[in-house]
Amino acid sequence: MKTHNGYIIKMYNKSPSLKVIVTEGKGGKIPNDLTGMYTTDKLAMVDIDKYLDKKGGKRDKAKTNNTAK
């Protein structure tokens, strides 16, 4: 599991080789731009960055954390 700019990238339960993006905390809605499945963390991070650039949100390149369990 990895966090990137306020979103969590985690393994998809039904297929551990795929990744999905979820929000930090409870009850957050995932934007339609981020509802896909990804083969790597890097691809998910690229889409998160593109989404934040598009909506004009804050993007912090230094804010990426590995939270391996």
Higher-pLDDT residue of 27 and 66 is 27
Q: Which residue has the higher pLDDT, 25 or 67?
A: 25
- The domain spans of the chain are 2-63
Question: Is the separation of the CB atoms in 4 and 44 below 8 Å?
Answer: yes
Q: Which residue from 40, 43, 3, 46 is spatially nearest to 25, judged by alpha carbons? A: 3
Residue 22, pLDDT score: 94
pLDDT, tens digit (0-9, with 9 covering 90-100), for 19-56: 999 998 777 789 999 999 999 999 999 999 999 999 88
Q: Taking Cα atoms as reference points, which of 7, 4, 3 lies closest to residue 68?
A: 3
For the chain, what is the radius of gyration of the CA atoms?
Answer: 11
